[in-house]
Amino acid sequence: MNRHRRTNRMSHDTRVVLPTPSHGARALGHVSMLALVGAVGLTSLAGCVRRTMTITTDPPNALVFVNDQEVGRSTVATDFLWYGDYDVIVRKEGYETLKTNWPIKPPWYQIMPLDFFFEVLWPGQLHDQRAHHFTLVAQQIPSEEELVERAGQLRDRALEAGK
């Protein structure tokens, strides 16, 4: 009798039925997906700047740290992300530890606003390679007399500081 009357009651088994897309809508979806994949592919081919620093030492095979991170033994090459000052530490047994600063200035194509073009829109890849050579000084081993004299000076300073 009230077969055509709708009720507003919701059951626990509520289902949402979506309309089936037409053939044209499905084709449009495929074209959109193809366009999205193409855009992502082209973006991955777009500009990129790779930055590499290479450190050589005399003597070779010294342990190299850049900004407190061990990067390997010389000759060593590692990628870097930004231009600026880098703290470099070079160590080798029998040589004085070298602690220094290496400022790396950006090339002309990495200065604003050109950097956006070369980082994002340039159709190829640029490779900025920087190299620096560090020379270590042989460690000076003090004589026994020098050690005794320095120990006495240190003792005297400690006694004066305690007064």
pTM for the whole thing?
A: 0.58
Q: How far is CA 10 from CA 4, 14, 19, 133, in A?
A: 17, 7, 20, 77
User: CATH for 49-135, among 3.40.720, 2.60.40, 3.40.220, 2.40.50?
Assistant: 2.60.40
Place of tokens 């990129």: 48
* Average model confidence (pLDDT) across the chain: 78
Q: Is 49 helix (H, G, I), strand (E, B) or coil?
A: strand
User: Cβ–Cβ contacts within 10 Å for residue 101, how many?
Assistant: 8
pLDDT reported for residue 29? 60
* Bridge partners, residue 134, by sequence: 57
Is the pLDDT at 154 greater than 80? The verdict is yes
**Of 66 and 33, more confident:** 66
Domain regions of the chain by residue span: 49-135
Is the pLDDT at 38 greater than 70? The verdict is no
Instruction: Tell which residue, 42, 50, 46, 43, has the closest CA to residue 110.
Output: 50
* 96 vs 90: CA distance, rounded Å: 9
Which positions ≥6 away from 84 have C-beta within 8 Å?
103, 104
Tokens at 123, concatenated:
């159709």
Which positions ≥6 away from 46 have C-beta within 8 Å?
120, 121, 122, 123
pLDDT in tens, 73-84: 999 999 988 889
* 39 vs 37: CA distance, rounded Å: 5
pLDDT reported for residue 68? 93
Q: Which of 1-10, 57-66, 69-78, 147-156 has the lowest mean pLDDT?
A: 1-10
Q: What is the mean pLDDT of residues 77-100?
A: 93
Tokens at 133, concatenated:
């050579």
pLDDT reported for residue 120? 72
**Of 23 and 99, more confident:** 99
